[in-house]
Structure 1
Amino acid sequence: MTPALVVIDMLNTYDHEDAELLIPSASRALPAVRYLLEQARERDVPVVYANDNFGKWRSHHGELLEAALASPHADLVEPIRPGESAYFVVKARHSIFYETPLAYLLNALDVTGLVLCGQVTEQCVLYSALGAHIRHLPVTIARDVVAHIHQDLAEAALRMMEINMSARTVPAADAFR
């Protein structure tokens, strides 16, 4: 498998419904996200940030990053800000594939599998894993690198990804193995 690391919705202002429930989980996941980013860079694994546009349809990734860094929760964004070699896909809804050029980009990069991390486990990560599964892309989810709003739903989502989508769920340390 030739993987890509996809960082889902981590460039966030946390100015939305359920943010107060999400922030503690995102804070706990942050060190492992940094670790995965370092591992990807050391291994020359492409890194793709797939991020909601927060309804700002004329924005681009730089503006989304600036808004997140200007927010009261910039401490959750600064340590994982995209490097120069990172790719960026703006998404409108839950899946990283829905109405985005991600499938085309992955094909152009000869990617044959994904390592997913980010937020929200029971929403965007779950739907993104399904999108990869229906495209016959093997998926690895680093359990300690996904953040949730509702822990019980996140655990159920991880189990669904394992059983229904044949996803590997592993610690971040094993994501690229």
Structure 2
Amino acid sequence: MTQHPPTGRTALLVIDMQNSYFDFPELEEQREPVTEKVNELIRAAREGGCPILLIRTQHERDRSTWTVNMHDDDQGFAFPGTEQSAYVAGLDTEGGTGLIKTRDSAFFDTDLAARLRNLDATHVVLCGLSTHSCVAQTAMDAFAHNFRGAVARDAVASENADLSRALLAFLEDELRQDLLGQQDAVARLRG
């Protein structure tokens, strides 16, 4: 596919790089390499003057923020102040701004779109977890909010490889979002 180099400011969205998502055995084995790749993107964004948003999922114990399937399973997670909700060890958070979400999309019921517009961002590069859910849904909603999205494919991970491949293909084919290798993602963030 043709890449769409940014013509405006790019922001880096670091999604769900927190302990709760690495509870999946398939993701635990990817913890260190993914964290290294994400950290490289964070450093590149700092060097390039790109805003960095550190997005985490967090739910209230009183069930008020739980999703339908959490209610069905009678099980919440990533409660405030717990180890589950904390950033994964070794994540470079310097210069990043935190944002809490309660759904797969970082745009749902948050001020992310307004923040990006206030930062004059027209493009976003996404990295983090999980490719087939939170990364893909945030990328789709970026499109819906008229931000040009790109996924740093070497800095994402998932416990469902088949769904991840399908959703990345959808993002590229249907929404014209770039799937960037690590070197291209770093170059884009450095400007």
The TM-score with structure 1 as length reference comes to 0.83
Residue matched to 2:173: 163
Distance change >3 Å, CA 107–CA 56, structure 1 → 2 = farther
Equivalences for 1:12-161 in 2 at 5 Å? 12-14=19-21, 19-55=24-60, 67-68=83-84, 77-83=88-94, 85-161=95-171
Query: Structure 1, unaligned stretches of length 5 or more?
Result: none
Q: Highest CA radius of gyration, 1 or 2?
A: 2
Contact 1:11 1:51 in 2 (8 A): yes
Contact 2:131 2:158 in 1 (8 A): yes
- 1:7 has 2:7 as partner: no
Query: Structure 2, unaligned stretches of length 5 or more?
Result: 1-7, 65-79
The TM-score with structure 2 as length reference comes to 0.78
CA RMSD of aligned residues (A): 2.3
Quick one: which amino acid aligns to residue 177 of structure 2? A
Distance change >3 Å, CA 122–CA 14, structure 1 → 2 = closer
Contact 1:11 1:81 in 2 (8 A): no
Contact 2:16 2:128 in 1 (8 A): yes
1:156, CA displacement in angstroms?
1.0
Distance change >3 Å, CA 27–CA 56, structure 1 → 2 = farther
Quick one: which amino acid aligns to residue 107 of structure 1? R
Quick one: which amino acid aligns to residue 112 of structure 1? T
Quick one: which amino acid aligns to residue 7 of structure 1? V
Identity %: 30
More helix per residue: 1 or 2?
1
Query: Cα deviations across residues 65-116 of structure 1 (Å, max 9, x unaligned)?
Result: x72597xxx8xx2221422x31111001000100011111111111111000
Distance 1:3 1:94 in 2: 21
Distance 1:13 1:86 in 2: 20
